[in-house]
Every structure is written in structure tokens, then in C-alpha cells.
């Protein structure tokens, strides 16, 4: 487990699901249980990001969630807060608020409603980085939301701010080859996180990532997989990665709502979440046959762990 005093974020940092009570409010008790469990099983930190339902939270809910997560984490590990917004001013405001709450780093995707050119995309991220003193993780979540980021934007930001201030979470397809392009274009300086839910973790690890940001639902399995990768235990790597990848494949078929529905289902199945409630509207709900397959794969993963 890492201390928040370490400035170089790394390792396994799960993206938190946001629990809601019967009135649709953030359930602090369940959120505390989720964060406590994450650290108990060995997470290096926690993340608030897209599968935390940020895009569906009101401004006040978003502020509340960040404050609660930073407080509950209590310095037990890294805290990374997603601050992407439709305007640069809003993103800067969210970033400064996250830093004031004690976040270790912020993360941002480009605006989702506007298609920006390379210069405007660079200026957006640079404005966020200029407004804070903690690191910024530049996230391309274009596989399910937002727009792809040009490689030149990455290299320009890295040259401008340095490897201690700018990290990367490239998720545009094809993930592995794009990751290698970024690594090679920066002569290995880019510090890169994998963010595919774990489906590409083995491939990305071999390409030189410094960490991964999976969902919380499969966290115990991903931590064991990360340890196996570090130890070079080839058989265990694939015993763990195959059921993880199969579950994530089911999540990916329905995009962001697929991750939300299945992750919350598994957190409820584990006894961590009191319900599977999401912020409506949602475009996909899990059917009974998908649920049965998730159950079978989850049982296989737990048997390996």
C-alpha cells in the first residue's frame, strides 16, 4: 500500500462506483465501506472518474462526492479526482477544488460535447495543469465517451510540464499499439496508466505501464493479477486475467452503462453495496442471461484468487 505523501502515483488505483440511497443521494456509509474494502485488499489509492457517474451528477453532488472521498480515504493512499468538464473554467474550478481537498492528482478527459482540434485540446489541458500544483492525468476515454487525443498533444504537454506533472491514461483503440506509440514518442518518459477495466492489463503491462485504474468490482482479482505480473508468474497471470477479461468483455458491449450495471451488481453481490441504483437515464440494464454468465465467471475468478 502506498502513502499519499509519495508524489509519484502508481500501482492499482480502482475507480469508485458512486452508491446512492433510496432518495438518490450519495450514500456515505456505503461509500465508506467501498473505500475501506479497497484499501483492505491492497489498493494503492482510489479514483473518482467516469464510472463514478460524474457526468450524471449535479455540480453540488460532484463537489460533495470529491470531499467525501478525500476525507474517507484519510491519507491511506493516492486519491485521483477526475475534473474534466465542458468548459476550461469549470475544469479548472474542479481541479482547484480537488487539490484543496487533499487529492494527490487530478485526471481529465476533453469536453464531450465539442470536437476540438489539437491546439484547443492542448490549451484545455495546459490550463488545468497551470492552475494546480499536483499532477494531471490526461485521459483519452474515447472508446466510450469523448474524443480521441492526438499523440502530438501528449508529447507537447509532457515537454511543457515534465514527467512529474503529466501522466497519461490513453484508452483509444487499439489500446496496446497506441500505448507503445506514446511510450516510444517520449523515449519512455511518459508515465502511463491502463484503463480498460483489466481486459488489456497483461498486454499493457508488458508495454511498460506504471499502474492500472480498474473498476472496484474486480479489485481483488486485479490486485492479484498485478502482483503476478510483477513476479513474472506466467501461469497465474493467465488464470487470473482470463475470467477478468471475460467479465470486462460483457461490460464493454454496453459501453459506460455496461460498466455501471455490472460493476454495481457485483459490488452488491459482494455485500459492499446496499443496492445497484444508478442515476437515470440509463441506456442499458443487465438481462438475466448476462447476469448468469457474470455469476459463472465471477465464481471462476474467486476460485483462482
Q: What is the mean pLDDT of the chain?
A: 95
Q: Whole-angstrom Cα distance, residue 74 to residue 249? A: 34
DSSP conformation letters of 43-105? -SEEEE-GGGTGGGS-HHHHHHHHHHHHHHHTTSSEEEEE---SSHHHHHHHHHHHHHTT-SE
Confidence band, pLDDT 50/70/90 cuts, at residue 5: very low
CB atoms within 10 A of CB 79: 29
pLDDT value at residue 145: 72
Q: What is the pLDDT of residues 102-126, one digit of tens each?
A: 999 999 999 998 889 999 999 999 9
CB atoms within 10 A of CB 32: 16
pLDDT value at residue 4: 39
Return the domain boundaries, the chain.
11-217
pLDDT value at residue 6: 52
Helix/strand number for the chain, H first, E second: 11, 8
Share of the chain above pLDDT 90, in %: 90
Residues 10-33, mean pLDDT to the nearest whole number: 98
Q: What 3-state DSSP class applies to 193?
A: strand
Phi, psi (deg, nearest 5) at residue 72: -65, -40
Phi, psi (deg, nearest 5) at residue 231: -85, -15
Residues 185-202, mean pLDDT to the nearest whole number: 95
Q: What 3-state DSSP class applies to 134?
A: coil
Q: DSSP strand E in the chain: where?
A: 11-12, 45-48, 78-82, 105-108, 136-140, 166-170, 193-194, 211-212
Class of domain 11-217: alpha beta
pLDDT value at residue 2: 37
**Angle, helices 28-40/59-73, rounded to nearest 10 degrees:** 40
Residues 58-74, mean pLDDT to the nearest whole number: 98
Q: How far is CA 243 from its chain centroid?
A: 20
- pLDDT at residue 3 tops 60: no
Q: How far is CA 224 from its chain centroid?
A: 18
Cα angle value 92/161/127 (rounded, 5°): 20
- Strand ranges of the sheet holding 211-212, from the earlier edge strand across to the other edge: 11-12, 211-212, 193-194
Q: Whole-angstrom Cα distance, residue 123 to residue 92? A: 12
Q: What is the pLDDT of residues 225-258, one digit of tens each?
A: 999 999 999 999 999 999 999 999 999 999 899 9
Q: What is the pLDDT of residues 259-299, one digit of tens each?
A: 999 999 999 999 999 999 999 999 999 999 999 999 999 99
pLDDT value at residue 147: 76
Q: What is the pLDDT of residues 154-179, one digit of tens each?
A: 999 999 999 999 999 998 889 999 99
Cα angle value 289/218/60 (rounded, 5°): 95
> Which residues have CB under 8 Å from 100's CB, separation 6+?
none
Q: Whole-angstrom Cα distance, residue 192 to residue 40? A: 25
pLDDT value at residue 244: 98
Amino acid at each position: 500500500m502506498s502513502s499519499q505523501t509519495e508524489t509519484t502515483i502508481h500501482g492499482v488505483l480502482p475507480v469508485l462506483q458512486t452508491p446512492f440511497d433510496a432518495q438518490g443521494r450519495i450514500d456515505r456509509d456505503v461509500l465508506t465501506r467501498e473505500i475501506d474494502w479497497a484499501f483492505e485488499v491492497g489498493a494503492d489509492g482510489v479514483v473518482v472518474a467516469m464510472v463514478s457517474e460524474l457526468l450524471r451528477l449535479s455540480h453540488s453532488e460532484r463537489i460533495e462526492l470529491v470531499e467525501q472521498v478525500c476525507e474517507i480515504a484519510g491519507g491511506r493512499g493516492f486519491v485521483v479526482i477526475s475534473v474534466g468538464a465542458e468548459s476550461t473554467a469549470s475544469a479548472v474550478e474542479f481541479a482547484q477544488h480537488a487539490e484543496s481537498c487533499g487529492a494527490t492528482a487530478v485526471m481529465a478527459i476533453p469536453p464531450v460535447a465539442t470536437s476540438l482540434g489539437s491546439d484547443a485540446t492542448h490549451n484545455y489541458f495546459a490550463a488545468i495543469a497551470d492552475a494546480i500544483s499536483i499532477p494531471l492525468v490526461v485521459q483519452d476515454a474515447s472508446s466510450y465517451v469523448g474524443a480521441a487525443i492526438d499523440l502530438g498533444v501528449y508529447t507537447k504537454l509532457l515537454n511543457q510540464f515534465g514527467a512529474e506533472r503529466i501522466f497519461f491514461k490513453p484508452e483509444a483503440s487499439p489500446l496496446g499499439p497506441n500505448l507503445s506509440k506514446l511510450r516510444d514518442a517520449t523515449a519512455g518518459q511518459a508515465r502511463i496508466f491502463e484503463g480498460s477495466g483489466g481486459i488489456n492489463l497483461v498486454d499493457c503491462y508488458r508495454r511498460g505501464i506504471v499502474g492500472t485504474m480498474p473498476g472496484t468490482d474486480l479489485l481483488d482479482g486485479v490486485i492479484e493479477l498485478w502482483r503476478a505480473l510483477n513476479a513474472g508468474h506466467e501461469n497465474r497471470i493467465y488464470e487470473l486475467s482470463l475470467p477478468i477479461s471475460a467479465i470486462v468483455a460483457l461490460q464493454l458491449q454496453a459501453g459506460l452503462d455496461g460498466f455501471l450495471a455490472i460493476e454495481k451488481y457485483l459490488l452488491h453481490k459482494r455485500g459492499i453495496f446496499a443496492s445497484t441504483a444508478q442515476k437515470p437515464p440509463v441506456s442499458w440494464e443487465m438481462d438475466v442471461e448476462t447476469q448468469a454468465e457474470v455469476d459463472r465467471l465471477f465464481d471462476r475468478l474467486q476460485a483462482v484468487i
